[in-house]
Amino acid sequence: MRAPSSWTSSRLLVAALALGAKAAPDPTAELTAQDIGDFAAVEFGDRSVRGFPGPRARPSPARTAGRARGLAPAQRYSGGALLRPNPPAIVCYEGPAYDEAACKNLWPQGSTCLPTEEPVGNCTRGLPEYVVNVTSVKHVQAAVNFARNKNVRLVIKNTGHDFGGRSVGAGSLSVWTHNLKDFELIPEYRMGPYKGMAVRYGAGLEAWELYNHMAELNFTVTAAGGRTVGANGGWFASGGHGTLTSTYGLGCDQALEIHAVTADGEYVVANPLALSCKTGANSTTSFRTDDPAAFWDAMSIYFRFSAAVVDAGGVDWSYLTPLGNETYTFSVGMTWPNRTVEAVTEILAPLYEQLQAIGPRVHRLRAARGHALPLPPLPRKNWDDDEVFANTFAAIRVSVEAGYTFHGLAIGATKKAAGWPGREGAVNPAWRNGVLHGILIGLQPKGLTAQEARDEEAAIQEYMQLWRDVTPARART
């Protein structure tokens, strides 16, 4: 990630559906009775909850798809915003849309109609019936109202990536926020005890676009480390973290206002304290050794040091991957906001001393400037006690020895880092004293049967259980 050009403390005025007020037509204008006209399906009404479609749930994908097609009349006056797209991967399948080159450039979305070079059968829909390409509050209100009034499954698809496929729903109506790219710098903003700079931006920006704004305007906001992650949306709402987390907390900790459309179709400007988020110099280092015992000693030392990294305001992200035949690879990158290389070298000195003490079999290859299944972060208590740490590390080690990749993120989203308003927010308290956010990654071979996929899931869950066992609920808070 590019380091922002300055470390000026600025607060993020996040706006989930925020839109600049000046463009014409006014994108913040709300849906009116005149807009609704005689299309009663988009009228405002009571809030109610929609079930996830499935064998025991209502409505089923087929039923919700049928109802979603009732939106057809709206196409006439949607101004082109209502789309009925084919599944993107239709270009990989036999038929009039087949396009070999286009097929090679696709990312999978969900698990129906996947991009493939060996297509079997036809590309069934399996995806939203209609997509609203939203550019205004009105669009969102009309979509939410229709879904509620007609009992249609509603999905929100932002931008960036969502490997879990939560942004694709069979037979649904999709609110697609990718084109909400507004961005506005507010030099002076006040809210509660906060006074200073803020930015207001739309849901559809990706992290790389925020970085570009930061570089151009010389300020810093909390953003995802992955450049293609949506700068807002799911990242924001689920405890999104990034390279500034040990300094300024989670993405949602910096939110001053959220502009959103609620399930009853109302457009609200919400105080972030009422919301529940579920949730410098940089260096790259890797180790090499021919001796598995020394390797695991080095790993244990490295991960034990995570607490010192987050305490000093650093963030690291690492991958510990088995290569087979008892060989492993470990790589890690770090970001140290507002720290010089000299300061970071000093912070990391005890780590290198301990690694060197293991013996000459561990080499420091590079220390340079430059560049699933998660659980809440493993808590600090697991670092404070030698025995508990040894058990914690053993759980990670056996998972990797079993063939899975461990992806660790050392981040310290403490209340102190969060500051106001984040420290008073409703974020999952596990983040506040966490040291290491671990993700266990197992690749699923293509073409598994449903039962094979369930068996794979059960196998990885056995290892996740070891992590849960070393993280008893009482230790997490």
Ligand X SMILES: *[C@@H]1O[C@H](CO)[C@@H](O)[C@H](O)[C@H]1NC(C)=O
Question: What part of residues 454-473 is at the interface with ligand X (CB under 6 A)?
Answer: none
Q: Supply the minimum distance, in Å, between the C-beta of residue 417 and ligand X.
A: 11
Binding test (CB under 6 A) with ligand X, winner from 55, 96, 187, 324: 324
The structure tokens listed for 102 are 């286009």
Question: What part of residues 214-233 is at the interface with ligand X (CB under 6 A)?
Answer: 218
Closest to ligand X by CB, 99 or 462: 99
The answer to the question of residue 312 lying near ligand X (CB under 6 A) is no
Question: What part of residues 384-443 is at the interface with ligand X (CB under 6 A)?
Answer: none
Radius of gyration of the CA atoms of the chain, in A: 24
Q: Is the dihedral of CA 205, 209, 211, 217 positive or negative?
A: negative
Closest to ligand X by CB, 321 or 354: 321
Binding test (CB under 6 A) with ligand X, winner from 122, 276, 461, 465: 122
Q: How far is CA 222 from CA 10, 241, 337, in A?
A: 9, 8, 11
In the chain, what are the helix, strand and coil shares in percent, each to the nearest 5? 35, 20, 45
Closest to ligand X by CB, 239 or 280: 280
Q: Which residues contact 79 (CB under 8 A, 6 or more apart)?
A: none
Q: Name the one range near ligand X by CB under 6 A: 15-23, 148-156, 369-377, 451-459.
A: 369-377
The answer to the question of residue 48 lying near ligand X (CB under 6 A) is no
Question: What part of residues 6-45 is at the interface with ligand X (CB under 6 A)?
Answer: 6-9
Q: What DSSP assignment string belongs to 114-154? A: ---SS--S-----S-SEEEE--SHHHHHHHHHHHHHHT--E
Q: Supply the minimum distance, in Å, between the C-beta of residue 35 and ligand X.
A: 17
Closest to ligand X by CB, 17 or 470: 17
The answer to the question of residue 370 lying near ligand X (CB under 6 A) is yes
Please give the Cα distance from 447 to 449 (Å, whole number). 6
Phi and psi for 352 in degrees, rounded to 5?
-65, -35
Q: Name the one range near ligand X by CB under 6 A: 167-175, 364-372, 383-391, 402-410.
A: 364-372
Q: Supply the minimum distance, in Å, between the C-beta of residue 7 and ligand X.
A: 4
Closest to ligand X by CB, 197 or 358: 197
Binding test (CB under 6 A) with ligand X, winner from 86, 151, 338, 345: 338
* Number of helices followed by number of strands (H, E) in the chain: 15, 17
Please give the Cα distance from 213 to 125 (Å, whole number). 38
Q: Is 187 exposed, middle or buried (0-12, 13-18, 19+ CB in 10 A)?
A: exposed
Q: Supply the minimum distance, in Å, between the C-beta of residue 200 and ligand X.
A: 19
Closest to ligand X by CB, 202 or 280: 280
Please give the Cα distance from 175 to 147 (Å, whole number). 10
The structure tokens listed for 374 are 């998660």
Q: Between β-strands 194-201 and 281-288, what pairing exists: parallel, antiparallel or unpaired?
A: unpaired
Q: Supply the minimum distance, in Å, between the C-beta of residue 338 and ligand X.
A: 4
The answer to the question of residue 121 lying near ligand X (CB under 6 A) is yes
The answer to the question of residue 352 lying near ligand X (CB under 6 A) is no
Please give the Cα distance from 363 to 39 (Å, whole number). 70
Closest to ligand X by CB, 48 or 122: 122
Binding test (CB under 6 A) with ligand X, winner from 75, 78, 151, 179: 179
Q: Name the one range near ligand X by CB under 6 A: 1-9, 97-105, 206-214, 258-266.
A: 1-9
Phi and psi for 264 in degrees, rounded to 5?
-90, 5
Cis peptide before 59 (omega within 30 of 0): yes
Q: Supply the minimum distance, in Å, between the C-beta of residue 400 and ligand X.
A: 15
The answer to the question of residue 280 lying near ligand X (CB under 6 A) is yes
Q: Which residues bind ligand X (CB under 6 A)?
A: 2-3, 6-9, 83, 121-122, 133, 135, 179, 218, 280-282, 324-325, 338, 369-371
